[in-house]
């Protein structure tokens, strides 16, 4: 009986957030994080653990009694970190970088601090209004037309990822189309992209109920740098109309995931506009570069599209996750996605004088993510953010120069941004299977050293290596060292020494 009483007494006194304890432990955690950033190069970039490594290292159930912060941190160091692939390592050149910054981190801390769940305006007016301000700031930086801005006739919203952005716009487009042609014609809706469109597009179409048979992944070719042809789009749309189908949605990409190919927005939108097709432009990675005047031309024609998204968590120093979506007709999003349960009713929402972002997204709850972007934009200014992009481009150009100077290697597709697609091709007349095998071996060896991490792709049947510059801690010496390592790999291959 006595022990039961003391258990109950303990649970009554439990305080999950004590300001004094918070101060002490947060200091320790900040030191831990700063040490991690400082020593990050001492870890293998690509983790070398085997599947299941962590389950066998941790107990089967949660502890019954509290454990000390020190004990937990020690486990982070000894058990968690070995299983991390270090995306923030300066030697990380895989996929696209997930860039970060001190300002972005501090904004994330503030976001966590308030834990505002800003589903509607009243739930946290500052959360909604800061998002409106920041989305218009970013729109101005990208020179988007007023039709996408709150200060004009459109608006922007922070989504989690590109998948969410495409999903909500596709659903808005779908509902608009079904209003016109009748819900019974759902099976007639057709969507368009290229064979380079991100794989999430097909997933999102599935979620939105588009028939898999009506997803047109139009072919691209190396001769056109893997860019979607407006003529091909026109032919596909005409054929579908001819067959009694209803063209619904085009997902164009500025900076594809495999090779940063650019779909030419203007002529594609021209075709789509003729047929009333909703055009979305996915610039998840390359959108960030468009804050520089010298890259803005990649968005030419953007005034003709219906929606546009890019992910600052990729190239604008903003931590995961943060995908910015602008739409010309927010009313269509709201029409498709709004809910109005009694427990969320409030005067400002009913007066239609406010934005309730829950009606622009899939979920209800949402974080105060605009704090992160606001901190980044203010702390660095447009000037430094442009310098950040240009500095990554400069390093990518340098790497491109290294590749070009070695006759054993070749650049496979032209570089637009900070991704270099290259491969070993020492015997241009030997079979492509041999070239692929050679490059696979090279990649495996380079990554097995733990000193760098890069990835590959296959486009148009061509196997190539991707060198994506831009991790926030990378400088020139890391790029030089990576190239030296790649050359060492090539030397070993040609000497036939064991890998």
Which residues of the chain form contacts with ligand PLP (CB under 6 A)? 96, 161-163, 198, 200, 253, 255-257, 282, 284-285, 311, 323
Q: Which residues contact 138 (CB under 8 A, 6 or more apart)?
A: 156, 312, 324, 373, 377
Q: How far is the CB of 164 from ligand PLP (least distance, A)?
A: 8
Nearer to ligand PLP, 245 or 283 (CB): 283
Q: How far is the CB of 455 from ligand PLP (least distance, A)?
A: 12
Q: How far is the CB of 376 from ligand PLP (least distance, A)?
A: 17
Nearer to ligand PLP, 253 or 435 (CB): 253
Q: Is 287 within 8 Å of 271 (Cβ atoms)?
A: no
Q: How far is the CB of 324 from ligand PLP (least distance, A)?
A: 10
Nearer to ligand PLP, 200 or 447 (CB): 200
Nearer to ligand PLP, 354 or 413 (CB): 413
Distances in Å between the alpha carbon of 247 and those of 65, 94, 96, 229, 312?
60, 36, 32, 17, 31
Q: How far is the CB of 67 from ligand PLP (least distance, A)?
A: 34
Q: How far apart are CA 281 and CA 43, in angstroms?
A: 38
Nearer to ligand PLP, 426 or 460 (CB): 460
Q: How far apart are CA 104 and CA 94, in angstroms?
A: 22
Nearer to ligand PLP, 40 or 251 (CB): 251
Q: Which residues contact 87 (CB under 8 A, 6 or more apart)?
A: 97, 98, 471
Name the closest residue to ligand PLP (Cβ): 161
Q: Record the tokens describing residue 57, joined without a space.
A: 């290292």
Q: How far is the CB of 318 from ligand PLP (least distance, A)?
A: 11
Q: Which residues contact 468 (CB under 8 A, 6 or more apart)?
A: 93, 94, 95, 96, 97, 418, 419, 420, 454
Q: How far apart are CA 386 and CA 291, in angstroms?
A: 7
Nearer to ligand PLP, 154 or 255 (CB): 255
Q: Record the tokens describing residue 358, joined without a space.
A: 């829950």
H or E stretch including 136? helix 125-141
Q: How far is the CB of 433 from ligand PLP (least distance, A)?
A: 28
Distances in Å between the alpha carbon of 202 and those of 153, 175, 193, 241, 327?
30, 18, 9, 21, 21
Q: How far apart are CA 181 and CA 175, in angstroms?
A: 10
């Amino acid at each position: 009986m006595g022990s039961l009483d003391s258990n109950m007494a303990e649970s009554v006194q439990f305080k999950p957030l004590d300001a004094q304890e918070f101060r002490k432990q947060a200091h320790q955690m900040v030191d831990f994080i700063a040490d991690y950033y400082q020593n990050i190069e001492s870890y293998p970039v690509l983790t070398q653990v085997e599947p299941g490594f962590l389950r066998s290292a941790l107990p089967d159930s949660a502890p019954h009694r509290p454990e000390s912060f020190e004990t937990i941190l020690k486990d982070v160091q000894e058990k968690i970190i070995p299983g991390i692939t270090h995306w923030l390592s300066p030697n990380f050149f895989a996929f696209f970088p997930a860039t970060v910054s001190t300002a972005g981190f501090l904004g994330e801390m503030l976001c966590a601090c308030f834990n505002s769940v800003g589903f509607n305006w009243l739930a946290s007016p500052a959360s909604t209004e800061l998002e409106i301000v920041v989305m218009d700031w970013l729109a101005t930086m990208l020179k988007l037309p007023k039709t996408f801005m709150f200060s004009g006739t459109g608006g922007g919203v922070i989504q989690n990822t590109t998948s969410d952005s495409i999903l909500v716009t596709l659903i808005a487009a779908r509902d608009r189309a079904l209003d016109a042609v009748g819900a019974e014609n759902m099976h007639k809706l057709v969507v368009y992209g290229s064979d380079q469109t991100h794989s999430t597009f097909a997933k999102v179409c599935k979620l939105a109920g588009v028939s898999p048979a009506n997803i047109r992944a139009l072919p691209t070719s190396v001769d056109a740098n893997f860019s979607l042809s407006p003529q091909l789009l026109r032919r596909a749309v005409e054929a579908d109309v001819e067959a009694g189908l209803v063209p619904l949605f085009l997902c164009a990409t500025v900076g594809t995931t495999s090779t940063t190919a650019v779909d030419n927005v203007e002529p594609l939108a021209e075709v789509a506009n003729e047929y009333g097709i909703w055009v979305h432009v996915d610039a998840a990675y390359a959108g960030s570069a468009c804050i520089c005047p010298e890259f803005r031309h990649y968005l030419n024609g953007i005034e003709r599209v219906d929606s546009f998204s890019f992910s600052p968590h990729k190239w604008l120093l903003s931590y995961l996750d943060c995908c910015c979506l602008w739409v010309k007709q927010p009313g269509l999003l709201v029409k498709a996605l709004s809910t109005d349960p009694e427990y969320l009713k409030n005067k400002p929402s009913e007066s239609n004088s406010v934005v309730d972002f829950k009606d622009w997204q899939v979920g209800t709850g949402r974080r105060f993510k605009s704090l992160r972007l606001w901190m980044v934009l203010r702390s660095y200014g447009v000037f430094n953010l442009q310098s950040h992009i240009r500095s990554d481009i400069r390093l990518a150009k340098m790497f491109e120069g290294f590749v070009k100077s070695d006759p054993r290697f070749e650049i496979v597709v032209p570089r637009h941004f900070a991704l270099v697609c290259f491969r070993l091709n020492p015997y241009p007349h030997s079979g492509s299977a041999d070239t692929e095998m050679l490059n696979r071996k090279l990649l495996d060896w380079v990554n097995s050293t733990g000193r760098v991490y890069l990835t590959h792709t296959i486009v148009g049947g061509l196997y190539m290596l991707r060198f994506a510059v831009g991790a926030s801690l990378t400088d020139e010496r890391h790029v030089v060292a990576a190239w030296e390592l790649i050359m060492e790999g090539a030397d070993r291959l040609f000497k036939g020494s064991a890998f």
